[in-house]
Amino acid sequence: MIETYIDKQNVLLNGRQMFDVEITTICNKHCYICPREKFERINRKMTKETFDILCNWLPSDCDVFFAGFGEPLTHELCIEFIQKLHKSGRGTSIMTNGILLNKNLISQLFENGLDKLQISIIKKLELTRLPHFFSLIENKYKSRIVFNIITDTNDDELPIDVQDKLQYGGYRHYIKHIHKRAGLLYPPDFKYKLKTCASFFVDTYIDTNGLIQVCCNDINGLYNIGSIRNMNFDDLVEYKRQFLGNIQICNLCPNCTDEYRIKHFENINKK
Ligand code: SF4
Ligand code: SF4
């Protein structure tokens, strides 16, 4: 049993790594839960050249998640990128707002190597979109699709009819709580008292330009660590090692209420 947070961070750092890759900052939706209006970086799509550098840069056994401050499916090379990652043996996931999904696109994504598709639904406004998504999902893909239901209240319960449709239809879902994006979105509260971070040691955010960000909450790249063009992956691990046991990684951390900053700790003793 691993007890101390520093030991847990060490286990995460030495384990299989995850990469949040922002293949675009362009989005086809406006969500009140998103800090995009605080975005000061230039909107752009990741180029094929940057993506190819990234593919050579990533460790061979890792999980890549297309997510970030843009809608991945608006990138015309999204499927090509997934195919390339899959062929090289990396795990692949996409987080989408679902606007562009149709039966054909879902099939193309999975047949070209996508492992997991997460569809975000804002609980307060969008539960009525679920039947539309159910109508697009063929049985053979159900186990690889998860509804990411985002709530900004402490009420995690879904209406009974929605629970029934998810459960009896065999659709997977989880509840995620909106957080304050390290103080950028709403005035920070301090729901999570734990003054340390797990996600920094297991998860790396790469922006459209190939810059390595400290985490997904640094939306303007104020604390970027380097670039995939001048820092190799082993150097990044050594850089992160300096922070083992620190109560703070960057100036955003004291205002961070992201439940995922500590969620990774919960899974360690299950491994
Ligand atoms: S779909 Fe995602 S990136 Fe786009 S506005 Fe909503 S939360 Fe932000
Ligand atoms: S802002 Fe939050 S998630 Fe990011 S490094 Fe700090 S504690 Fe971790």
Q: Answer yes or no: is pLDDT of 185 > 80.
A: no
Q: Answer yes or no: is pLDDT of 6 > 80.
A: yes
Q: How far apart are CA 109 and CA 191, in angstroms?
A: 37
Number of domain units in the chain: 1
Neighbour count for residue 53 (Cβ, 10 Å): 15
Ligand nearest to the CA of 97: 1
pLDDT at 262: 79
Write the pLDDT tens digit of every residue in 188-221: 555 556 678 999 999 999 999 999 999 998 989 9
Ligand nearest to the CA of 250: 2
Neighbour count for residue 270 (Cβ, 10 Å): 5
CATH of the domain at 116: 3.20.20.70
Distance 189 CA to ligand 1 centre (A): 22
pLDDT bracket for residue 268 (50, 70, 90):
confident
The verdict on the CB of residue 200 being under 6 Å from ligand 2 is yes
Decide if 249 contacts 202 (C-beta within 8 A).
Answer: no
Substitution candidate for ligand 1 out of 22, 26, 30, 65 with most atoms within 8 A of CB? 30
Domain span including residue 190: 5-268
Distance 93 CA to ligand 2 centre (A): 22
Distance 20 CA to ligand 1 centre (A): 15
Write the pLDDT tens digit of every residue in 61-101: 999 999 998 999 999 999 999 999 999 999 999 999 999 99
Structure tokens at 66: 């297309």
Q: What's the Rg (C-alpha) of the chain? A: 18
Distance 145 CA to ligand 2 centre (A): 27
Q: What are phi and psi of 70, to 5 degrees?
A: -165, 170
Q: Which residue has the higher pLDDT, 21 or 5?
A: 21
Residues contacting ligand 1 via CB (< 6 Å): 27, 29-31, 33-34, 36, 69-71, 97
Ligand nearest to the CA of 201: 2
Distance 217 CA to ligand 2 centre (A): 7
Q: How far apart are CA 123 and CA 47, in angstroms?
A: 34
Substitution candidate for ligand 1 out of 37, 69, 149 with most atoms within 8 A of CB? 69
